[in-house]
Structure 1
Amino acid sequence: MIKEGKVSYRVFVIAGSEPLGSAGIQADVKAISACGGYAAGAITCVVDEDTEHVKDVCLIPVDMVVSQIQSFMEDVEADCIKTGMLYSKDLVLKVSETIKNYAGIPLVVDPVMVSSSGDQLLEDEAIFCYKKKLMPLATIITPNMREAEILLGRKLNIHGILDDLKELSIWGNSVIIKSVPYKDKLADYFYCPQNGDFREYIKPIIKTKNVNGTGDMFASSIATYLARGWNIIDAIDKSEDFIHKAISYGAKFSFGTGFGPVFPFYKNYTKLQKENLRYRMNISQDRNNR
């Protein structure tokens, strides 16, 4: 229920920034806005990348990141928190310690470890800190297949995926492993340890390189529906539909030479196209009347 006089559905994101607008906190803000939430956030690092490679990462001082979190949480508060790229062991540790002070607020942990092009985005020593400090606070974690294997320390057992899911939920969190090959399709696998709910989301492969930021947007979509008061199952269902349509629409566009963005505002696409058409028709008519 919307509280009159207050901004509702507040999702606070702790993540990196990049210049393309297709991943990181830029993607988070777009997904949260598209799904009906209010997006705010703390910048953890600035990534220099093009559509093919990550070129450099400039870290924001850890104390500054923590201060950004505290400034928002102690003044505005949040209905859900989502973490993205944290990069270093020290940052994972300090963010975990800070978030711990806001118990009761749902936490979506997207363990950003590799980019779409395969570049590693996390220091090796930060992985242990993720599992020791951050995962126990999470409502749900959202690794893709490669990130799940990093967390497990081994390859996924596709024929025993439930066991892998259970291993990644030993901290009490739900887990969804994304983009696992399934015959000629892709599958996402979800597990909730509280009720033993196991679900498969089988979907066709969309032939496109415009998939940069899909993990960011998917996790932020889940965070938004949790902020809106949806239960975890319904939030996952809705977010699966959202990201599939965002990829489908994004596949229609050309963006650079490598991995481009998805299109989260697909609901407004037809409306905007019609608005452009009416504008051009009016301009043309005005010229003809002169």
Structure 2
Amino acid sequence: MFFIESGDLVSPEDYNYITNFLMETTGLSLGENKEYLLEARLVPLAQVHGMNGIQDLVLSLKSKMDRSLEREIMEAMTTNESSFFRDRRPFDELKANILPEIINERKMTRKLRIWCSACSHGQEPYSIMMLLRENYPELNDWNIQIISTDLCKKALERAREGVYSQFEVQRGLPVHLLMKYFEQCEQGWKIKPDLGAGIQWKHLNLLEDFRHLGMFDIVFCRNVLIYFKPELKKDILNRISSQLNSSGTLLLGAAETVLGISDKYAKQAGCQSAIYQLASNSVADPIAR
């Protein structure tokens, strides 16, 4: 039996073409020696389209005849790893240090806007909504908007459906919240409609203009920037800063930072997680849209 060694399925020329394509369209910096990743994610896609391999995918990309294939490649290479209350501490600090202050400042408008900028399969926005429901009953009559965006349309469809396997609900989700906010279904567990009512799902590429989303009190941009080059990180962080209200807060992933990248932010006092407020010289218009 003949075995193909890892790396033999993609030529250096095809690898460079796809990595450049991903950089230009998604900002994803794949780097060197990731041939195995291309093979694992794109060979099955090529087979679905009746192609012989990655070389045929590249030829189709170069022809620019099939725009839907471009989107499928982008989505196949996008990481959609997530879990409920991921890394727990940021959610604890959100509850203890951030939300009380923001709620106090917004008590006149009774409006709270949160953006999950890479929501994947929806665990993050649903976790936020559960946190609000469980800890802040005074918000029951507030106008709460959670805008959840992602590059991957398939991930958004899954998030909107709110259906999760037994394995997925066992990752970070306390049993009492599972029983309260989910109902069993054939595929596992489904979010009850009431919990998802305040969440909006939108397709968005962070490389594109997102000013149309409006202003926010809290922005989650966790475990996204680690895939981008420094200049793209700076651009995205600076554009997010212009859409944070004066007391707004930015949450990044545990391995991410603004230090040495953007001077628009300052570390949130009392928080150990990667949580930032606007720097004093970067305060946006305090009037929420």
Normalising by structure 1, we get a TM-score of 0.30
Larger-Rg structure: 2
Normalising by structure 2, we get a TM-score of 0.30
